[in-house]
């Protein structure tokens, strides 16, 4: 299913633009890469793997932060959790 | 091919900018040799004085003076400069010129104006009937003739609500006292009816285009306003590409068989995500030069339509993600040009200067 996130235009400086709504977002830290991964169809485990590989963080913290991040995307109507 | 000679009105920029100065800029991009005649209603219209602005400017009587006065003035200007294309840009004059189409054609002046009945169908007070025919939503609306009826309508709609005049201005009011002040002002300024609408919370979108008069269009550009002035004017905007928005506007233009320039104003309601139609303007908007800077020149397309009497090539879409920011600068005027215009003479006519300067009463000088 195509979500708003799939259509986001994202640059390397973390500026994301939704060409349909005209909304602009600023992504910081790992969010840029996480959004890119989501746009390429990555699942939650792939996202978690990215966080554990790239950042010095334990799995429980990474999982919690990832849930918060995906929850924010859902709240902003940019993303729908896969069933 | 002969360079076009084009008259353009509404040249003021500033806090509440008119479209004419942007149109002149767009025309210059495509027709650098065009001779552009500015038709102004005030000598202080800033676009008269900008670099690369109109080649000459003339004062016009206000549209309220009526069709005969406007035509007389046009005849006298054309004795000096026989322009053959005319782009009117102000709602109030379009109303008058639309009823003068035959007289303009007889004079050899080509313009692109809707018929009076089509113009009427998109007027604010007639939008409820229009949207019934094409399934577009508008805020809950009441059309009222006076203050007492406005109070009753406000009781039905609840506060906050938006109160509008038939031509210009819209004010958000939160209580009866504010409604009284706003409605009294609008009635005094613009006459009746008053239009009262339920307040819709959401982002504002504008769609600019040129209709082909047969139900289609030669192109359109959608943008979201990203900054508003305290008068609700767009200080910045960004291009978007939403097929839902484009289709909705295409339905309206198809229904009206709209000829020529238009601007459709909508709000995307936060709670429902639906677009609500606010207004259809029968002219280019003040931001018309923005898409022209992106290579999508609506003013030039209109001249192609008028000049060549053939179907012009449709314009490409504007890529989403380009934005404009309104930027104010000072332009330099010369008292001599001001004087010439004030005397009803053509501008620039530098040889008039000494004579006119001495004839202007000091109190009318800026």
Residue in A4, A22, A24, A78 to test binding to B, most B beta-carbons within 10 Å: A22
In a domain, B172, yes or no: yes
Number of domains in chain A: 1
In a domain, B213, yes or no: yes
Question: In whole angstroms, what is the distance from residue B333 CA to residue B12 CA?
Answer: 13
Mean residue pLDDT across chain B: 90
A19 touches chain B (CB under 8 A): yes
Q: Write the DSSP symbol of residue B46.
A: G
> Are residues B227 and B318 both part of a single domain?
yes
In chain B, % of residues over pLDDT 70: 92
b/e map of B242-257 (b: 16 or more CB within 10 Å)?
beebbebbbbbbebbe
Number of domains in chain B: 4
Question: In whole angstroms, what is the distance from residue B236 CA to residue B366 CA?
Answer: 30
In a domain, A70, yes or no: yes
Question: How many helices (DSSP H) and strands (DSSP E) are in chain B?
Answer: 13, 14
In a domain, A59, yes or no: yes
B224 touches chain A (CB under 8 A): yes
Q: Min CA distance, B124 vs chain A (Å)? A: 26
Residue B72: which pLDDT band, with cuts at 50, 70 and 90?
A: very high
Residue B192: which pLDDT band, with cuts at 50, 70 and 90?
A: confident
Q: Residue B303's domain spans which residues?
A: 201-325
CB B264 within 8 A of CB B249: yes
**Cβ separation A19–B321 shorter than 8 A:** yes
B317 touches chain A (CB under 8 A): no
**Cβ separation B320–A17 shorter than 8 A:** yes
Q: How many CB atoms lie within 10 A of CB B145?
A: 11
**Cβ separation B321–A17 shorter than 8 A:** yes
The CATH number of residue B95's host domain is 3.40.50.20
Q: Min CA distance, B94 vs chain A (Å)? A: 32
Token pair for B136: 């577009």
**Cβ separation B238–A21 shorter than 8 A:** no
CB B124 within 8 A of CB B170: no
> Are residues B46 and B78 both part of a single domain?
yes
> Are residues B210 and B295 both part of a single domain?
yes
**Cβ separation A17–B226 shorter than 8 A:** no
> Are residues B209 and B316 both part of a single domain?
yes
Q: Give the pLDDT confidence score for residue B363 in this predicted structure.
A: 44
Q: Residue A12's domain spans which residues?
A: 4-75
Question: In whole angstroms, what is the distance from residue A16 CA to residue B32 CA?
Answer: 38
> Which has the minimum average pLDDT: A68-82, B163-177, B332-346?
B332-346
The CATH number of residue B277's host domain is 3.30.470.20
What is the value of ipTM here, to two decimals? 0.79
Q: How many CB atoms lie within 10 A of CB A83?
A: 4
Q: Min CA distance, B21 vs chain A (Å)? A: 27
Instruction: List, in order, residues 6 or more apart from B142 with CB less than 8 Å away.
Output: B153, B156, B157, B195, B196, B197
B321 touches chain A (CB under 8 A): yes
Of residues A83 and B229, more confidently modeled: B229
b/e map of B68-79 (b: 16 or more CB within 10 Å)?
eebbebbeebbe
CB B123 within 8 A of CB B166: yes
pLDDT by position in tens, chain A (length 83): 456 888 899 988 899 999 999 999 999 989 999 999 999 999 999 999 999 999 999 999 999 999 999 999 999 889 887 65
Residue B354: which pLDDT band, with cuts at 50, 70 and 90?
A: very low
């Amino acid at each position: 299913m195509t979500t708003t996130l799939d259509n986001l235009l994202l640059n390397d400086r973390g500026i994301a633009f939704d060409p349909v709504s005209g909304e602009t977002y600023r992504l910081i830290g790992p969010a840029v890469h996480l959004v890119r991964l989501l746009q390429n169809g990555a699942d939650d485990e792939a996202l978690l793997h990215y966080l554990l590989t790239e950042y010095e963080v334990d799995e429980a913290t990474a999982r919690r932060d990832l849930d918060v991040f995906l929850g924010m995307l859902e709240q902003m109507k940019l993303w729908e959790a896969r069933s | 091919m002969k360079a076009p000679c084009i008259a353009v009105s509404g040249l003021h920029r500033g806090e509440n900018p008119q479209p004419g100065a942007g149109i002149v800029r767009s025309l210059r991009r495509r027709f650098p040799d065009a001779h552009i005649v500015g038709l102004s209603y005030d000598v202080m219209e800033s676009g008269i004085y900008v670099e690369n602005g109109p080649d000459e400017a003339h004062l016009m009587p206000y549209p309220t003076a009526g069709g005969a006065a406007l035509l007389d003035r046009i005849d006298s200007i054309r004795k000096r400069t026989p322009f053959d294309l005319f782009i009117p840009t102000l709602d109030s004059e379009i109303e008058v010129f639309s009823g003068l189409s035959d007289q303009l054609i007889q004079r050899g002046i080509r313009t692109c104006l809707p018929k009076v009945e089509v113009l009427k169908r998109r007027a604010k007070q007639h939008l409820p009937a229009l949207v019934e025919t094409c399934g577009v939503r508008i805020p809950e609306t009441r059309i009222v003739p006076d203050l007492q009826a406005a109070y009753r309508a406000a009781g039905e709609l609840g506060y906050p609500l938006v109160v509008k005049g038939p031509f210009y201005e819209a004010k958000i009011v939160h209580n009866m006292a504010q409604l009284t002040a706003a409605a009294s002002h609008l009635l005094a300024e613009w006459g009746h009816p008053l239009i009262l609408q339920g307040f819709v919370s959401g982002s504002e979108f504008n769609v600019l285009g040129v209709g082909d008069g047969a139900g289609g269009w030669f192109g359109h550009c959608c943008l979201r306003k990203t900054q508003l002035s305290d008068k609700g004017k767009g200080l910045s905007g960004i291009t978007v590409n939403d097929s839902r928005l484009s289709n909705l506007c295409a339905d309206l233009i198809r229904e009206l068989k709209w000829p020529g320039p238009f601007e459709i104003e909508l709000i995307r309601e936060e709670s429902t995500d639906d677009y609500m139609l606010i207004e259809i303007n029968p002219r280019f908007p003040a931001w018309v030069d923005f898409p022209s800077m992106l290579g999508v020149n609506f003013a030039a397309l209109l001249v192609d339509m008028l000049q060549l009497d053939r179907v012009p090539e449709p314009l490409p879409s504007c890529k989403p993600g380009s934005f404009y920011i309104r930027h104010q600068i000072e332009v330099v005027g010369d008292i001599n040009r001001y004087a010439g215009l004030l005397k009803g003479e053509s501008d620039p006519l530098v040889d008039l200067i000494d004579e006119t300067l001495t004839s202007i009463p000091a109190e009318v000088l800026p």
